[in-house]
Each structure stands twice: as C-alpha cells, then as structure tokens.
Amino acid sequence: MIRAMNTLERAEAAERAQMEELDRLVIMKSVIYVSGESDPRVPMQRPPSEGKTFLMGHDPRLPRMPEKPTLFDFFRLRFGPANHLLQSARLAQKNGLSEKLVLACLLHDIGNIGFIRGDHGYWAAQLVEPYVDPEVMFAIRYHQALRFYPDESVGYAYPESYIKLFGPDYRPEPYIERAYKTARDHKWYMSARQLTVNDLYAFDPNVKVELDEFTDIVGRHFRQPEEGLGWDDSPSAHMWRTINWPTRYL
C-alpha cells in the first residue's frame, strides 16, 4: 500500500524536484547584474550547457508569481523590504495628503527596491506610468531631483544623511539640476515636493506598517491590468516581466 507523504517528505520531494530542474537549466546573469564587478567588454563565462536548456521563464530559485500578478504580488514576492515605502505612505496620510499622493509615496522607491538603483525615480515613474494618474508619475519622477534641493517654505532642508552618504562635496549632475528647474516651474511642483517631505522622515525601524492598509487607495488609484502586470502589453509591461523573470535568457 502506498502511504501518503507527510509534510517533511513532501517538502523534501519538492526540494529534490527543484534541484533536478535546476540541474537541467542554464541560468545566466544579465550584463547589468555584474557590470561594475566585471568588465562588460570581456565575454561572460558560459556555464556548461551540454544536455541542458537555457531558462526562458520562471526562475525556480524564486517564489513563483501568480499567473496574473498584481502590484501587491510584486511587493510580496519580488520587491525587497518595503518598510520605508509603507512608512512614507502612512506619514503622507497622517499629514493629510491626497490619496493620489499617498499612492505616490507608496510607490516612489520601487525602482530601487525592485529593479535598479541608479536613476531610481525615473525607473519607478516609468514602471507605473501606464497605471496611475499623470500627477502620481510626475511626483515619483521628480523626487529623484528635488530631494537634493531644499525648500524652506515646506521645511525641507538638504538631507543630513546625504552628506554622510555622498560626502560634503557632492553636487548633483547638470541633468538633475535641469530636472529640478523643470519641476520648480511646473504646476505639480508641490506634489513632487510633498513626496520628498514625506520621504525623508520615513525611516523608523520600529514602525511596522502592513501593505493591506493601502488596499483601498491602490484599488481606487492604481489601474491594475486584468491580464496581470507584465502581460498587459502596456509600454512598461516588459519591465514588470523582467522583474518577474529576471534571469530569462532572451
């Protein structure tokens, strides 16, 4: 008689199956993951591929995403810890900002917690642009530049932490300076500025905020595509797919 597997045996079997799957696959890293650590002009070492196939979808080392992933699925299964974003969104709420700007605060750093650090405000803005009000996109995009420039009218000073992080002599590049000026003259300047105000103070390791607190706001202001993020053919769908399947060969 065949005995049903207990929990431990099931876990072990699943792990074995995963190891076998990994054995059959060649998983390559994109240039960008190693650029800086290695010279991109030097051809990358190819792992032995005899009898194997190159990964063209889900990476078995990662938690599997649902077939139609939502924004929160990305938060839970692909983004790094989002405490800072959650705290920032809650602070914005406490300060009486509009729901749209609370959403902007919730999403403003998904570039660096989920994708790429450099120019993170631009990447995050592009990721969400098809799904949010243009003002939300604008605030996220321009927080990249505005955070380097004080605005006494709202009590925003150049962040102390930046002096430590980048040294006292760091000056933003000309393109950041230009973006700052563009934002300054824009009707949504204050929206982007409010994001920086609610961003800076949102680092408290003792405050725990749950994603579910923002279910309603996201429901009202983030146009979740029916097909799932990444499968909806929007201008940024490929970026969501890459976050979902970061090691796909082509």
Catalog residues that contact Fe ion under the rule CB under 5 A.
109, 199
Closer residue to Fe ion, CB minimum distance, 162 or 231: 162
Shorter beta-carbon distance to Fe ion: residue 133 or 199? 199
Contact indicator for 111, 121 with CB cutoff of 8 Å: yes
Nearest to 122 by CA among 149, 89, 144: 144
Shortest Å distance, C-beta 128 to Fe ion: 14
Residues 249, 54 contacting (CB under 8 angstroms): yes
Spatial CA neighbour of 193 closest among 178, 181, 183:
183
* 65 versus 192: smaller Cβ distance to Fe ion: 192
Q: Is 61 exposed, middle or buried (0-12, 13-18, 19+ CB in 10 A)?
A: exposed
User: Between residues 78 and 84, which has the closer beta carbon with respect to Fe ion?
Assistant: 84
Least gap, CB of 62 to Fe ion (angstroms): 25
Least distance (Å) from Fe ion to the CB of residue 88? 6
Distance CA 90, CA 156 (A): 18
Residue nearest Fe ion (C-beta atom):
199
Nearer Cβ to Fe ion, position 25 or 192? 192
Q: How far is the CB of 120 from Fe ion (least distance, A)?
A: 6
Least distance from Fe ion to the Cβ atom of residue 41, Å: 31
Cβ-in-10-Å burial (0-12, 13-18, 19+) of 137 comes to buried
State both tokens at 40. 């991109």
